[in-house]
Amino acid sequence: MDLSSGAGFGSKLSYGSGFFHLRIKLPGKDSAGVVTAYYLTSQGDKHDELDFEFLGNREGKPITLQTNVFADGIGNREQRIFLWFDPTADFHTYQILWNQHQIVFYVDNIPIRVFKNNKNMGVAYPWQPMKIEASLWNGESWATDGGQTKTNWSMAPFKASFQGFDISGCPIIKNSNNNQECYSPKYWWNSEKYWKLDSKQQMELENVKNKYMYYDYCSDKPRYPIPPPECLHQ
């Protein structure tokens, strides 16, 4: 990414469920205002989207990993953590599990976030076919210290590195929104084992929340005086 443009790539196919895997090494040195993103997204209005967004920072300051979930066009479900390693020093693994029961975000196989299917409570859940995309773009208006810390363009071009782009997914035939086939137990990620975290994974998730999470929309009382309904059951 430089002053003239960012960059990105994505899958040709859309998927209705799956396990999506990418290894990323973030831009080093002074990367304030630089956003590296890896996400699933549907097309059109009222879109569904599952986001990993890495928010750059001044050299020596921690980079934020922000996750978000959009369903039927509604997002504003940000969680933010500091990572327990330097994501600019080497490649690390970032994964998303998506089935009809839950969405799980993983860092190096450790779950950092779970979004359960609570449609029975009136909470929208991502169901539309989604493509996998990755991008590097200018977010200096908001990404670092709420936009107060601007990009140091003397450090451009900023470079992110990607490897191990791997999809275990159920592809959706073009112009078809019938996801029932993608919920089939013939796909390993739909089996009962992946309907919820096991006890070890649950402990790992709680450890991340306790040690590394510094923002959770569910706890933002000025923003949500009444917590969104899914927050009561996560």
When pLDDT is averaged across residues 51-71 and rounded to a whole number, the result is: 97
- Residue 2 falls inside a structural domain: no
What is the C-alpha separation between 160 and 164, in angstroms, rounded?
14
Look at the chain and report how many structural domains it folds into: 1
What is the C-alpha separation between 184 and 177, in angstroms, rounded?
15
The confidence band for 228, taking pLDDT boundaries of 50, 70 and 90, is very high
- Residue 205 falls inside a structural domain: yes
- Residue 151 falls inside a structural domain: yes
The confidence band for 175, taking pLDDT boundaries of 50, 70 and 90, is low
Place of tokens 């309904």: 229
User: The domain spanning residue 205 has which CATH number?
Assistant: 2.60.120.200
Residue 177 above 60 pLDDT? no
- Residue 64 falls inside a structural domain: yes
- Residue 190 falls inside a structural domain: yes
Residue 38 above 90 pLDDT? yes
pLDDT, averaged across the chain: 95
Catalytic residue among 49, 59, 133, 181: 49
- Residue 159 falls inside a structural domain: yes
Catalytic residue among 53, 78, 181, 192: 53
Q: Which domain holds residue 98?
A: 7-232
49 belongs to the catalytic site: yes
The confidence band for 59, taking pLDDT boundaries of 50, 70 and 90, is very high
The confidence band for 29, taking pLDDT boundaries of 50, 70 and 90, is confident
Please enumerate in sequence order all residues whose Cβ is within 8 A of that of 187, keeping only pairs 6 or more positions apart, or say none.
17, 18, 168, 170
Quick: pLDDT tens for 182-225: 999 999 999 999 999 999 999 999 999 999 999 999 999 999 99
Phi, then psi, of 102 in degrees rounded to 5? -160, 160
What is the C-alpha separation between 68 and 95, in angstroms, rounded?
14
What is the C-alpha separation between 101 and 167, in angstroms, rounded?
19
- Residue 183 falls inside a structural domain: yes
- Residue 1 falls inside a structural domain: no
53 belongs to the catalytic site: yes
